[in-house]
Structure 1
Amino acid sequence: MNSDISWRFPYMNFHAHATTLERERLVRCLQREKEHKSRRLYFLEIMSTSKNVIVVGIIVILILINLEFVLRRLLDISSDPVYNPKARFGNEEQDGSISTIGTLYDNVLNVSTNAPVDLMTSSNVSFMNEQDAIQKARRRQVSHTCRKNNLGGTFTDLLKSSNHRLIVDEKYKLIYCSVPKIASTSWKRVLLVLRGVMNDTYDLSQSEINNKVAPRKLKYLRFYPAADVRRMLREFTKFLVVRDPFSRILSAFRNKLDPLSDFRNCDIWQKGIGMHILKKYKPWSLIAPSRPVFKRLVTPKGVVRYDLNMADFVKFLVDPLEKNDNEHWSEIHRLCSPCLVEYDIISKFTTLDADAEYILRLIHADSVVKFPSSIGSSPTNSSNTASIKSYFRDVPRGDLDKLYSRFQLDFELFGYENPDMGLS
């Protein structure tokens, strides 16, 4: 020990000059240094081993994360309520919760809408609360009907469907299912203003919107890549507009096929589908002078009598041998897949204006565009009870029952009463 100290401290004559106290202090310093060196070596050994364990642990975690992602992709996210309506329906019916719309009104109050929160009036809050409750009840009706009929499906099923008519607005994160004869032209006007194509909802005619501008300027969900479709269905506000099925059928008839129609292009429909119906179900009416003549059509074979009525049209709609699924009278559930797509808002034709105001407020577009009136469209006054009874009274009971059977799911999904109540 003394020789070690002398080597470490050569300038000191340890034996000659150092006191006992100094020798003890120097000895303790040397001992502590040896102990520190031993501890450092031990710590380095531990760190080397721990580092290997940590690296292996990180690798295992990354593998598990990627494995979960791959499995979710392979299973097509079957547990996701957006793409597995059966699971979503069960949750909503049990606890009455709202999966998407439930937080939308909170966003209206908490997200900047170009107006401070304290400027939200009590009437606005009351309106939004009332509409939120209405929508909750409508969604529950759809959920119940889909569950009762064991309907639903996966995201893949939706991608395979070619019937849906979902229009997308990316800026306002909105998805709209366009159904003819239920204010579809009015909503296209709104969407074209939101996209900046039109400055005002009345800038273009109905024909220009439906046949020229909308097909070119509006974006449809079915043309997006699957990954974008999945994201939009999760994040965007989705809505459709529904109508009493018999009222919608009557509107289509009066607009397109009724001999008394004032629709500008009705002759095209009447010479095509209308004449086909007459030839098949009552060919004698084309020449029999005893029948009333509402209209004469000029056809390649000459002038013919055209006196199609609602009973003829219904017979065509319920004929299983006919291709009678034209979008103007095809079932809403076929066009919009409400048991596949989780719609946040279900607007009804009878509450169109209030529903539209609610939707535009939710997406913060109420200061940009107002929902237009029916001016410039083709209103037929087909929701009037008296009109429905008048047009359907000559339909044979058997055909009326078949018509209800065809549209029964729409009646149930959207909470419409059995037509017996309106036609008896």
Structure 2
Amino acid sequence: MAPRWPDRANRSGDFRSPSAAVLPSLLTFLVIVASGGLLLMIEKGMLSGVETPPPRGSKNVDVGRHMSQQERAAEDVESQILQDIRNRTMTSMCSQKNMPHSLWSLTPQQRKTLLQHVLVNDEYRFLYCYVPKVACSNWKRVLKVLGGTLENVDVKIKMDHRNDLTFLSSFKPEGIRYRLQHYFKFMFVREPMERLLSAYRNKLGEIESFQRKYGVEIVKRYRKSPSGKSSQSAGDDVTFAEFVRYLLDEDVERMNDHWMPMYNLCQPCALHYDFIGSYEHLTRDADYVLRRVGAPPHVSFPARQSWYKPVTADTLHYYLCSLPQKLLRELLPKYILDFSIFAYQFPNTSTEHCRH
């Protein structure tokens, strides 16, 4: 299995030693897993006080490109230690009998979701499970360039998310089995709450079709308005708290894929990815993948669009601290597998922390 790039910083940008920051959290999860109690704790909402391993990177995206040789060497050593811990965490959690161990052990609904999110390139022999709000549009550009249907990754066109792309769901079982066995498999992940906030701001704040389909219904369900004005909403004014209340009532396996947990979209216990890249080190990890699959030198990962508005640490802090604590405590277990398997730390929203 190819190495999954680990990162070196925590959410606040402080650099910790692996032994101080990672091992206690890892051991906590191993104890939970070994006792067979993980899924029970998820269902009962008992994980609000459990720390997960440190996150995969800081908010300074691709800070590694500006390191000195000495700093890079130090990061490589720490990266290897963290990677080993992360791999052991995933192996331990995925080896439990109540977790899926192959594509064919998934339920029909789980398998359908997964196969519809795995893109195929037969020429370069790789499978990419795309996760909305984790640079998937740019990865689709790359696939189209490799497939010869797009001239280069910088062509200014509206992304068509279906045409000129091949999905694993289009193959018969024997074709699926062959590609799973012989192709390089990868996905990219992002801090779960940051991804959720990005989806909320983009889809419910800017996209009219999402406002009509989801926003109107959310306002009807969760906004108390004595005057009855809530029923007249165009769905373009959904608050973050209303959005979270909606998520709490949703079955994770039937959510829209922009806020469905990454675990449910890509099923890492069932597919055994060769590489899991992180949004926090997007350029570095994407370059590794392109080299690994043998992409031509002229094919590079696209730069962010000029209009893109990133979710900063301060923005995420503001939105999470504005939520009633009860809502946040109920929300986090919905994404517990994203936090634990992909090694992200629960956000600190204590009263003291939120004052600052």
**Which AA in structure 2 matches 1:419?**
P
Asked whether 1:151 is paired with 2:99, we answer yes
> Which residue in 1 is equivalent to 2:297?
367
| Shift in Å, 1:415 | 0.2
1:336-379 alpha-carbon deviations (Å, 9 max, x no partner): 01010010000111011000010111111151410001117x73
2:120 and 2:253 mapped to 1: Cα distance?
Answer: 29
> Which residue in 2 is equivalent to 1:354?
284
Q: Of residues 230, 242, 254 in structure 2, which corresponds to 1:312?
A: 242
Give secondary structure in 1 for the equivalent of 2:163: helix
1:198 and 1:245 mapped to 2: Cα distance?
Answer: 31
- Aligned length in residues: 279
**Which AA in structure 2 matches 1:144?**
S
What aligned pairs does 1:23-422 form with structure 2 within 5 A after superposition? 133=80, 138-147=86-95, 150-157=98-105, 160=108, 161-164=111-114, 165-205=117-157, 207-210=158-161, 215-258=162-205, 263=206, 266-284=207-225, 306-320=236-250, 325-375=255-305, 379-382=308-311, 384-420=312-348
TM-score if structure 2 supplies the norm length?
Answer: 0.69
If you compute each CA radius of gyration, which structure gives the higher value, 1 or 2?
1
**Which AA in structure 2 matches 1:276?**
E
**Which AA in structure 2 matches 1:416?**
Y
**Which AA in structure 2 matches 1:233?**
L
Give secondary structure in 1 for the equivalent of 2:186: strand
1:31-89 alpha-carbon deviations (Å, 9 max, x no partner): xxxxxxxxxxxxxxxxxxxxxxxxxxxxxxxxxxxxxxxxxxxxxxxxxxxxxxxxxxx
> Which residue in 2 is equivalent to 1:30?
none
**CA separation of 1:322 and 1:373: change in aligned 2, threshold 3 A:** closer
| Preserved CA contact (<8 Å) 1:159 1:226 | no
| Shift in Å, 1:202 | 2.0
Give secondary structure in 2 for the equivalent of 1:168: strand
**CA separation of 1:236 and 1:246: change in aligned 2, threshold 3 A:** same
| Shift in Å, 1:167 | 0.5
**CA separation of 1:279 and 1:231: change in aligned 2, threshold 3 A:** same
Q: What are structure 2's unaligned runs of at least 5 residues? A: 1-68
1:322 and 1:146 mapped to 2: Cα distance?
Answer: 19
**CA separation of 1:404 and 1:304: change in aligned 2, threshold 3 A:** closer
| Preserved CA contact (<8 Å) 1:159 1:222 | no
1:187 and 1:177 mapped to 2: Cα distance?
Answer: 10
1:192 and 1:276 mapped to 2: Cα distance?
Answer: 36
| Shift in Å, 1:199 | 1.3
Higher relative contact order (CA 8 A, sep 6+): 2
1:169-215 alpha-carbon deviations (Å, 9 max, x no partner): 0111110001100000010000000001111012242x3332xxxx1
C-alpha root-mean-square deviation of aligned residues, in Å? 3.4
> Which residue in 1 is equivalent to 2:33?
none
| Shift in Å, 1:152 | 2.3
1:241 and 1:310 mapped to 2: Cα distance?
Answer: 25
Q: What are structure 1's unaligned runs of at least 5 residues? A: 1-121, 290-300
Give secondary structure in 1 for the equivalent of 2:194: helix
1:92-141 alpha-carbon deviations (Å, 9 max, x no partner): xxxxxxxxxxxxxxxxxxxxxxxxxxxxxx99xx8xx8899476554433
| Shift in Å, 1:288 | 6.6
TM-score if structure 1 supplies the norm length?
Answer: 0.59
**CA separation of 1:302 and 1:153: change in aligned 2, threshold 3 A:** closer
**CA separation of 1:254 and 1:183: change in aligned 2, threshold 3 A:** same
Give secondary structure in 2 for the equivalent of 1:407: helix
**Which AA in structure 2 matches 1:339?**
C
| Preserved CA contact (<8 Å) 1:277 1:313 | yes
| Preserved CA contact (<8 Å) 2:217 2:235 | no
1:244 and 1:267 mapped to 2: Cα distance?
Answer: 26
**CA separation of 1:302 and 1:329: change in aligned 2, threshold 3 A:** closer
Give secondary structure in 1 for the equivalent of 2:245: helix
**CA separation of 1:285 and 1:148: change in aligned 2, threshold 3 A:** farther
